Structure 1
Amino acid sequence: MPQKKRRNKWIIPAVLAVLAVGVAVLATLNKQEVPLDQIERNEVVVKADGAEIGRFSLDTVKRMEKVEFSDRIKETGKAAVKAQFGGVLLRDVLMSIGVDPSEYRNVAYKALDMYTSAGTVDEIMQDGKVYVVYERDGRQTRPKHEGGTGPLEIVIAGEQFSLRNCKFLMEIDFS
């Protein structure tokens, strides 16, 4: 009986140690350097198969003709709400920097917090479907460190649960 108590005494610390090591390993695998200069310039890097093919900034998007649209947004743990957005079709932003999305099939949107969502080029080519937005409800979207969702984000119009929208947009990667 005393031997069983000694063994049980070590089970919880052993499990905690294994969990701590697991968390450390996963954190190391998921760690990615965030380019601070890119964040300060409010830039989005556009890649194809991992290689950079272009960049655009908040200023680039704001110089284009703004499109206003409304959509229902569902955030985790909250009811869906209708929001008014201001931005530009992603297709138009890409074409303005010399990137033709029709040369590719798939796209991944990556956020500053490493959230990644996927889509297709067919969606990007549709009118009124995929936007780069910088305004929500008449106000410019603020960066993450100010509690905002921007300065740029991807909104895929008509998404039922908003899961593929990408706040804090940092990178677009085509394949």
Structure 2
Amino acid sequence: MNINNRLVYWSIGLLIVMAVALIYLMPSMDEQSDSLTIIKKGQQVKIFTMEEIKALPAVTRQVTIRSASEGINTYNFTGTPVREVLIKADEEILQGSKEVTVKGMDYFTVVFACEEIMEDDNVLLVYAQDDQPLGDRSSGGTGPFRIIILRDQFGMRAVKYVDTLEVN
């Protein structure tokens, strides 16, 4: 066996090992977590369970979503304002901060100005749609949590599979 063949075999072997390691280390969206992590400036502040989120003041709002893939549909979403979640984690979390980054398990990320988060009845963290849990991605759902922006006409920032809110 010449040196070129050995190099090819070693390269292929190394690629296989790296691929297996990446698959093992990457979080799976099918491993659904019903928790929400709150981070401020890189430091974890709190991890909420679904039960803790549901214990916060709840609102139900009728929202029409315009989607390129699903058309126009109207739903009743139940959840709590994002600002209430953040204040419950730390009463002073938004002081001196400029933005809140919302991250989904599918790596979709949206940044909101703190002013928008603080608006009354606008940015909601929802956990139910038409009185049913959102469900996880493997079951065709959009949860466990989802962001709904009531004053956003097209829903381009409606993050699904939300697992992290980061305040900066």
Q: Of 106, 130, 133, which residue of structure 1 is paired with 2:126? A: 133
Whether the 8 Å contact between 1:102 and 1:125 is mirrored in structure 2 is no
Whether the 8 Å contact between 2:98 and 2:113 is mirrored in structure 1 is yes
Which has the larger share of helix?
A: 1
CA displacement at 1:104 relative to structure 2: 1.0
Q: Of 89, 93, 108, which residue of structure 1 is paired with 2:85? A: 93
TM-score under structure 2 length normalisation: 0.76
Query: Does residue 44 of structure 2 align to residue 52 of structure 1?
Result: yes
d(CA) in 2 for partners of 1:62, 1:105: 27
d(CA) in 2 for partners of 1:92, 1:48: 15
Secondary structure (helix, strand or coil) at the match of 2:61 reads strand
Within a 5 Å distance, the mapping from 1:136-147 to structure 2 comes to 136-147=129-140
Query: Does residue 166 of structure 2 align to residue 170 of structure 1?
Result: no
Query: Does residue 151 of structure 2 align to residue 158 of structure 1?
Result: yes
CA displacement at 1:35 relative to structure 2: 7.8
Larger radius of gyration: 1
TM-score under structure 1 length normalisation: 0.73
Whether the 8 Å contact between 2:81 and 2:123 is mirrored in structure 1 is yes
Q: Of 115, 131, 134, which residue of structure 2 is paired with 1:122? A: 115
Whether the 8 Å contact between 1:46 and 1:52 is mirrored in structure 2 is yes
Q: Of 138, 142, 150, which residue of structure 2 is paired with 1:149? A: 142
Query: Does residue 73 of structure 2 align to residue 81 of structure 1?
Result: yes
CA displacement at 1:168 relative to structure 2: 0.4
Gaps of 5+ in 1: 1-27
Query: Does residue 13 of structure 2 align to residue 33 of structure 1?
Result: no
Gaps of 5+ in 2: 1-21
One-letter amino acid of the structure 1 residue matched with residue 100 of structure 2: V
Within a 5 Å distance, the mapping from 1:60-75 to structure 2 comes to 60-75=52-67
CA displacement at 1:85 relative to structure 2: 0.7
One-letter amino acid of the structure 2 residue matched with residue 45 of structure 1: T
CA offset digits 1:15-53 (Å, max 9, x no partner): xxxxxxxxxxxxx8xxx83288x943x111111233222
Whether the 8 Å contact between 1:156 and 1:164 is mirrored in structure 2 is yes
Number of residue pairs the alignment of both structures matches: 145
Whether the 8 Å contact between 1:72 and 1:80 is mirrored in structure 2 is yes
* Aligned residue in 2 for 1:105: 98
